[in-house]
Amino acid sequence: MFDELIKGSGKMSQLSKESHSVLFEPYQNITGILICDYNSIDLKRKLRNATKKFFDTHDNLLKQANSKNIAIYTCLDINPVIPIFKNT
């Protein structure tokens, strides 16, 4: 669904409705999605970093699935990217 949404809107990077935003960050055939109460350059940067780190953490599985054009039927651990969004 999100692939079609992104393809249909060109290079869309966010949707905004009232006080909520949905940010999209495509990277290496995956898309990081962040639903937030407000939109900021800092959140966009964190989403970009988190999407890249998620890909780097799971790159073997993601590249293998992409090369065989198959879906991944397992849960991938997002714990390595959570600290990126915590306030420092």
- Please state, as a whole number, how many other Cβ atoms lie within 10 Å of the Cβ of residue 76: 11
CA dist., res. 2 & res. 53, Å (int) = 20
Total-model pTM: 0.71
pLDDT range class, residue 11, cuts 50, 70, 90: low
Number of domains within the chain: 1
Of the pLDDT bands very low, low, confident and very high (cuts 50, 70, 90), residue 58 is very high
Closest to 29 in 3D by CA, of 65, 75, 81:
65
Please give the residue range of the domain that contains residue 55.
2-85
End-to-end, the C-alpha distance of the chain in Å comes to: 34
Q: Kindly state the average pLDDT of the residues 31-46.
A: 87
**Pairwise CA distance, residues 53 & 21, whole Å:** 22
Question: For residues 62 and 55, is the Cβ–Cβ distance under 8 A?
Answer: yes
